[in-house]
Amino acid sequence: MKESYNIIQANIINLTSIWQQAAELFDSCYLLNDFNYCYIENSDWPNRLWFNGSITESIIDEVKDKLFSTPKPITVSCWNIDDSISDHLLKKAGFKEKSVQIGMSLRLKEWPQKQLRLNFNKVVNADQAGLWAEVYSKAFGYRISEEIVKKTWGDIEFYLAIHEEGPVGTAIIYRTGNIVGIHGIGIIPDQRRQGFAEEIMEFVLSRASILGASHITLQASVMGKGLYSKLGFKEDFVLKNYILDQNI
């Protein structure tokens, strides 16, 4: 039970750290007593708010005041495990559930390198940053700005998956301590259903092994968790994302 609790916290720390890493370089990360938030103009990511502890009606009122002051909506993420009270309070205050993700982890031993159809280019220059941002937008339908990639590629590993000279997908690898977090695994629409997501995962797991990670963490969509389960990932917690109805 102790290890399970620790890996949940390690997953959350990795996730919130990558948000902060990106936003701090734009002076756009705000750490408050009861909650933290990031907001970068001209990007849809990280633009996130999360709580530091228990959620109360008074804290939600503060959050709403903050959200009403930003030009664009910010996603509110909540991982209070098995906490139906928080869900009730947020919905009562006018928040709508946007998406549900599953926090997952894998204890990593040596991961063998396999022969793959894909090649992987790590972003190390401005041209690659622009292409990565373009491919990511096609894969996910929202933007991580090119400027974020340019400013953070020294601390965050951004990869383009290439097949037959053309980009088909993206991956992000971010390390905190002995944890390697996997983020941004996406395939552009016309290249899906060809097994490329599985190949990207094989690559990032091999890369995490090279980095000496003890565990790999990620946040899977409900539909996508099957792929990770096949690779040995276990489900640790539920992460719910909310958006405030600006018309209330």
pLDDT at position 152: 97
242/121 Cα distance (integer angstroms): 34
Domain co-membership, 39 together with 78:
yes
Q: In this structure, are 136 and 202 located in the same domain?
A: yes
Q: Are residues 128 and 200 in the same domain?
A: yes
Q: 157 and 191 in one domain? A: yes
Does residue 61 lie in a domain region? yes
Q: How far is residue 90 from each of residues 43, 99, 146, measured CA to CA in Å?
A: 25, 14, 33
Are residues 98 and 7 both part of a single domain?
Answer: yes
pLDDT in tens, 125-137: 999 999 999 999 9
Please indicate, yes or no, if residue 223 is contained in any of the structural domains. Answer: no
For 198-218, b where at least 16 C-beta lie within 10 A, e where not — what string? ebbbbbbbbbbbeeebebbbb
Q: Answer for the pair 138, 188: CB distance below 8 angstroms, yes or no.
A: yes
Task: Check whether residue 79 and residue 134 sit in a common domain.
Answer: no
Q: How high is the pLDDT of residue 116? A: 87
**127 and 96: one domain?**
no
- Does position 81 have pLDDT exceeding 70, yes or no? no
Q: Please, are residues 214 and 186 in contact by the beta-carbon 8 Å criterion? A: no
How many separate domains does the chain show?
2
Same-domain pairing of 90 and 128: no
Q: Burial, 143: exposed, middle or buried (Cβ in 10 Å; 0-12, 13-18, 19+)?
A: middle
Which ranges of the chain would DSSP assign to H, the alpha helix?
A: 2-24, 57-68, 84-92, 126-140, 146-152, 196-210, 225-230
- The reply to whether 32 and 98 lie within a common domain is yes
Residue 85 banded pLDDT, cuts 50, 70, 90: confident
pLDDT of residue 235: 95
The CATH number of the domain holding residue 138 is 3.40.630.30
126 is a domain residue = yes
User: Domain for residue 232, yes or no?
Assistant: no
Percent of the chain with pLDDT over 90: 84
**Cβ pair 111, 216 in contact under 8 A:** no
Evaluate whether residue 111 is within a structural domain. no
Structural domain contains residue 114: no
Is the residue at 108 inside a domain? no
- Side by side, the strands of the sheet bearing 95-107 are 29-31, 35-38, 48-51, 75-78, 234-244, 95-107, 215-221, 179-187, 166-176, 157-163, 119-122
Helix (H, G, I), strand (E, B) or coil at 51: strand
State the pLDDT confidence band at 1, using cuts at 50, 70 and 90: very low
Structural domain range at position 196: 119-213
Q: What is the 3-state secondary structure (H, E, C) of 12-26?
A: HHHHHHHHHHHHHCC
Q: Is residue 233 a part of any domain in this protein? A: no
* Residue 189: pLDDT over 50: yes
